[in-house]
């Protein structure tokens, strides 16, 4: 549903109207559940001057915004993409960066056994922490050793990051075998819901971030889904 709403707003509404404050204001009110949405609407202008603690507090303040109320940002096609390309090793470890409420961790835990399964997020969700080992952590500095996890997933996170290149290097650093990334295939607009800072309507800038590793990339129901073979052992 989120992908379809995004398509209507970004592709069918004339850009001059779509990126005007008066047009987007009611959408922000609905999305964030308050009339006081100025700091949400101006997040792009504020984000790059925030300290790490201010950034963390901003996300902690989202409360019952639509991005926190919905079960997941992932569409089913992207989940299937990840499940279909998991390494065959039954004794693998997995980390989900940007674990949120633990939806993807739950799907992956149901799919197969793991030697270790964990998540990390800038704000730890209590429900997820009750079911999984969840670490507080913010890209591009995560509290893990080099190659600590066989599989790392990072879905609907890169579009939020302040330093994408450093964050991708950090994801690759902690991944031993395979990294999965999902991001919206979205055009840039200043007024975008869900606190997006980075936009990838075309795949080339995204692929460049993962050089020289082999990447499998597809479009899954409006999102880019990537599998990066850090160990070069695609199967």
Clarify whether residues 43 and 96 are in a common domain: no
Last residue of a domain, one of 69, 85, 100: 69
153, exposed or middle or buried, with CB in 10 Å at 0-12, 13-18, 19+?
A: buried
Closest to 228 in 3D by CA, of 98, 72, 81: 81
Predicted confidence (pLDDT) per residue in 31-89, tens digit: 888 899 999 999 999 999 999 899 999 988 886 676 666 778 899 999 999 999 998 88
3-class DSSP state for residue 69?
A: helix
pTM: 0.93
Does residue 234 belong to any structural domain of this protein? Answer: no
Per-residue pLDDT reduced to its tens digit, 139-171? 999 999 999 999 999 999 999 999 999 999 999
Q: Are residues 61 and 82 in the same domain?
A: no
Do residue 46 and residue 94 come from a single domain?
no
Nearest-angstrom CA–CA distance, 138 and 135: 10
- pLDDT per position as a tens digit, 102-148: 999 999 999 999 999 999 999 998 999 999 999 999 999 999 999 99
Residue 180 belongs to domain spanning: 76-229
* Residue 19: C-alpha distances to residues 1, 71, 189, 194, 200 (Å): 21, 27, 6, 15, 17
For residues 164 and 64, membership in a common domain is answered with no
pLDDT for res 155: 97
Domain assignment present for residue 134? The answer is: yes
pLDDT at 230 over 90: yes
The residue assigned the tokens 């790490």 is: 52
For residue 235, being part of any structural domain is answered with no
- The DSSP bridge pattern shows strands 175-184 and 149-155 to be parallel
Ramachandran region, residue 170 (left: φ > 0; alpha: ψ -120 to 50; beta: rest): alpha
Looking at the fold, whether 84 and 37 belong to one and the same domain comes out as no
Last residue of a domain, one of 69, 96, 117: 69
Q: Are residues 126 and 194 in the same domain?
A: yes
120-129: long-range pairs with CB below 8 Å, 24+:
120/95, 120/96, 120/144, 121/97, 122/55, 122/56, 122/59, 122/98, 123/56, 123/59, 123/60, 125/99, 125/100, 125/101, 127/101, 127/102, 128/99, 128/100, 128/101, 128/102
């Amino acid at each position: 549903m989120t992908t379809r709403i995004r398509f209507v707003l970004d592709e069918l509404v004339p850009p001059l109207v779509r990126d005007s404050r008066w047009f987007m204001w009611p959408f922000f009110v609905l999305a964030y559940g308050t009339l006081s949405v100025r700091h949400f609407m101006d997040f792009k202008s504020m984000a790059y001057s925030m300290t790490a603690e201010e950034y963390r507090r901003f996300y902690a303040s989202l409360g019952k915004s639509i991005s926190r109320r919905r079960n997941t940002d992932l569409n089913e096609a992207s989940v299937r993409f990840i499940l279909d390309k998991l390494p065959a090793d039954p004794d693998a470890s997995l980390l989900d960066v940007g674990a949120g409420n633990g939806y993807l961790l739950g799907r992956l835990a149901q799919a197969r056994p793991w030697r270790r399964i964990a998540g990390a997020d800038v704000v730890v969700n209590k429900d997820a922490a009750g079911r999984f080992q969840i670490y507080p952590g913010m890209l591009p500095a995560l509290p893990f050793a080099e190659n600590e996890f066989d599989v790392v997933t990072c879905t609907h996170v890169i579009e939020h990051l302040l330093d994408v290149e450093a964050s991708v290097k950090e994801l690759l650093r902690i991944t031993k075998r395979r990294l999965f990334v999902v991001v919206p295939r979205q055009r840039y607009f200043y007024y975008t819901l869900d606190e997006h800072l980075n936009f990838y309507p075309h795949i080339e800038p995204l692929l460049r971030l993962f050089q020289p590793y082999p990447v499998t990339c597809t479009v899954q129901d409006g999102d880019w889904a990537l599998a990066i073979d850090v160990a070069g052992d695609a199967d």
